[in-house]
Structure 1
């Protein structure tokens, strides 16, 4: 969801900046000002003396400006951190039992889980994605099931097999998992 919100916000901000920046550039180069433009011509300033000093004597003005700017800065920082934060752990820390940790590549664990899950009865394909932190990973599993397969049986097989093996081999106390089951859609066949 965050990826979609990020794209929409970036698109809106980019569009506004391109329209305003292009209008300012065009008017500055001598093009006639559009009817919706705030100012009259190329020598008009963005904020004249009256507009700049209009609210200066009001007691609420400067605290309101500072509050709005502070909120904008905090929202921008939150957005930047949300974009930069990694969704997938590059490695999972494995407890070796001798008071030291070893690291296991996150993609290797994903591939091992997907490979073992794809060999379960009734599973056509499996996709695995690790999320969370290095010491507490979480798994998202998508199983594409063949027609006429009991989803409950497949889910129990996944829990008792690949997920238990992955949790035990990585030395994790738990491996929270979100599993999605979908039926494989085959193209219709002609019967003659």
Structure 2
């Protein structure tokens, strides 16, 4: 969904910039008079040495009480929209479901919520992991697991990672028909942090 929205927004932005650039280019070359271009409006900025707003227009607009509030509000909205879009791109894309390769009809899927609950429950069932949180990101063809584990007191991070690498993650890869499912595991404890990609 996010990829589709990005493509639509970038396409609209590209069309707008291309149309504006071609209009200004044709005006700067005075092609509006040389060629019978009836598609371009007869405006000052389509002429050589023309401007978008003349001095009289700028003076008249600045004299209006609504001009500067509208300008600053529009710029503020553009800035907020750009920041929101940037934050949205930085967030990982959560995968809602994962199709099974072994299904001939291509209709069998595993919901990420079910997979997360199973992984969290299995991880908490072993000694050393006090709390677990799992997120499935990426795409259906290239999924990724992100796990955050809160270690219990006096637990061994190496033992917890060994349990994940040898038992829990292989079972998840087999059940989802994804033998190369990468997993990023972050271990958190009091005054201690570590991460490892399995």
Q: Which TM-score applies when normalising by structure 1?
A: 0.52
CA distance in 1, matches of 2:87, 2:117: 28
> Displacement, 1:48?
5.9
After TM superposition, which residue ranges in structure 1, 4 or more long, deviate above 2 angstroms? Answer: 47-52, 78-83, 96-101
Is the counterpart of residue 140 in structure 1 residue 146 in structure 2? Answer: yes
User: How many aligned residue pairs are there?
Assistant: 120
Of residues 89, 95, 100, the one that matches 1:89 is 95
Of residues 124, 127, 131, the one that matches 2:137 is 131
The corresponding residue for 1:163 is 169
> Displacement, 1:134?
1.7
What's the CA shift string for 1:57-109, capped at 9, x where partnerless? xxxxxxxxxxxxxxx9xx95x938955x9711110011225363511111111
CA distance in 2, matches of 1:119, 1:135: 30
> Displacement, 1:139?
0.6
More relative contact order in 1 or in 2 (CA 8 Å, sep 6+)?
1
User: Can you give the 5+ residue segments of structure 1 that lack an aligned partner in the other structure?
Assistant: 1-46, 53-71, 186-192
Of residues 163, 170, 189, the one that matches 1:183 is 189
Q: Which TM-score applies when normalising by structure 2?
A: 0.51
What is the root-mean-square deviation of aligned Cα atoms in Å? 3.5
CA distance in 2, matches of 1:159, 1:101: 29
> Displacement, 1:173?
2.3
